[in-house]
Each structure stands twice: as structure tokens, then as C-alpha cells.
Amino acid sequence: MTDVPIIRVRGLTTRFGDHVVHDGLDLEVARGEILGVVGGSGTGKSVLLRQIIGLLDPAAGRIEVLGQPVTGTTPQSFRKLRRRWGVMFQGGALFSSLTVRENVEIPLREQTDLPQALRETLAAIKVRMVGLPQDAMGKHPAQLSGGMRKRAGFARAIALDPEIVFLDEPTAGLDPIGAAALDTLIGQLRDALGLTVFLVTHDLDTLHAICDRVAVLAERKVLAVGTIAELRALPHPWVHDYFSGPRGRAAAGER
């Protein structure tokens, strides 16, 4: 990892009407790391992700990705920047009327001028990279298991060979074996492709298995960022209960 942040958020304020979600939030993500983002209900984890990728505008503050501003830029500049990241929303967010191949092809069709045959070849490569069998290409999401749908969503997220992947609750709804397999896949592809991973999750096993650091959202800001060992040393009640409570100790392999 380098010392230059690949994602930098400064003074972020988020409001929905009179409700303030973030107030002066700061965060930096290093190139090549897997950063887990955790927090209680209503702390704005997914909202933060959506703001970083330009789907929501903050009330105040500055967001830079790959050294470029996300807001206040031209449509052409944002389009070029957007090609450098991939996103997997909760549940995989696949289009039910499209096959796996067609879903994975969407970024290639929207953001490139590649011929159809080449798009199909690249989609097939991504599908195999995430561990799906070749016959999954022609299936619709309803014909897949939950774990397979997540993998298909991940394949679509890496369709354009991005530098950053944003994952929103990637293991939610999976059984422990399926969740562990997806964690392994994320770690392997990070290493193989040189990805930076911004991962919103509540899964303690995922945090322990693959995250280099964890950012804790609380009190309308990033309360702390560090390794799990560093966070467990903090006296904050929510942080202590989350990482050192019964589930946190179990995920850490403690009795």
C-alpha cells in the first residue's frame, strides 16, 4: 500500500431534511487495502458509499477518488472516473429479466464501444474468475442460489477491470459456509487484481477474515479507524460491545 489515499473524504455533511446523518466526517482509504465500514443502524454506512460513488450529493464537504473530485465535476470527467471503480450493491442487485452474461455485460455495453463478441468473451472471463460455472452464463437470477447471485454481482463489479470495488453488505443473507467462501474470493481477487476494496458490512467474520482496517461510524462521523486489535482497545461503549461482546469474541476465536 502507498501513503497516498485512493479515497479521501473531508468535512462531509449529510442531511435528509432536518435529519443530520454525517457532520464533518473525515475518512481516507489507502490503495490496495480492504477497508471494512461498520456502525449501528442509521449511521449512514450505505449512504456514505453512495456519496463516494456520486449517487448522492453531500450537503457539504469534499470527496476525492483517485485524486479527482467526485462532485462539482463535468459529466465527461465523472464518466471517465466512474469507469475506474465497480460496485456491488446489497443482494447483488442483478436485473431479473437479464441472464448472468447480460448482467455482467452491462458496464461493458454502457461504458465501452467494444463489439458484442468481445463483450461476451470478457463477461465469460469475469464469470469464471468469481467461481461460477460456465453454464451459469445463460441463467437468470431467479435460477441461482443466493451465493451465486452475489458472485454474479461481483463479476459485474469487476467487468471493467476497476481499481476500486465498492461492496455493500456482500455476505448478507448467506449461510456461514457461503459467506466464508465469498470472503475468500474477495481476498483472492484483491491480491490477484491489485484492487482496493471499500466494504460496508456488519459481518464480524468478514472483518476478521479479510479486512486490513475497519472504520467505525458513530456520532455522525468516523469515530475511529484501525485494525480490529486497535479498535478493541478503545473505551467507547459501542465499539467495545461490538468487537468484544459475545459475537465479537467468537469471531476472534475466543471463548
Q: Would you state the cell numbers that stand for residue 154, as one nine-digit string?
A: 461481483
The mean pLDDT of 143-172, rounded to a whole number, is 94
Condensed to tens digits (0 to 9), the pLDDT of residues 160-202 reads 999 999 999 999 999 999 999 999 999 999 999 999 999 999 9
C-alpha cell at 167: 461492496
Q: What confidence tier does 255 reach under pLDDT thresholds 50, 70, 90?
A: low
User: According to the model, what pLDDT value does residue 254 have?
Assistant: 77
106-134 pLDDT per residue, tens: 999 988 899 999 999 999 999 999 999 98
Q: Mutual orientation of helices 100-111 and 146-157 as an angle, nearest 10°?
A: 20
If one looks up domain 1-84+163-255 in CATH, what number appears?
3.40.50.300
pLDDT mean across residues, the chain: 93
> How many CB atoms lie under 10 A from the CB of residue 12?
26
Q: In three state form, how does the secondary structure of 48-106 look?
A: HHHHHCCCCCCCEEEEEECCEECCCCCHHHHHHHHCCEEEECHHHCCCCCCCHHHHHHH
Look at residue 45 and tell me whether its pLDDT is greater than 90. yes
- Using CA atoms in the order 216, 218, 224, 230, what is the torsion angle rounded to 10 degrees? -60
Region 235-245: mean pLDDT is 91
All three cell numbers of 89: 450493491
Query: Within the chain, which residue ranges are assigned CATH 3.40.50.300?
Result: 1-84+163-255
Distance between CA atoms of residues 168 and 140, nearest Å: 22
Asked if pLDDT for residue 53 goes beyond 90, the answer is yes
**Mean pLDDT score, 144-155:** 93
pLDDT at residue 2 above 60?
no
Position 55 scores a pLDDT of 93
Span 202-229, average pLDDT: 96
The band of 24, judged by pLDDT with boundaries at 50, 70 and 90, is very high
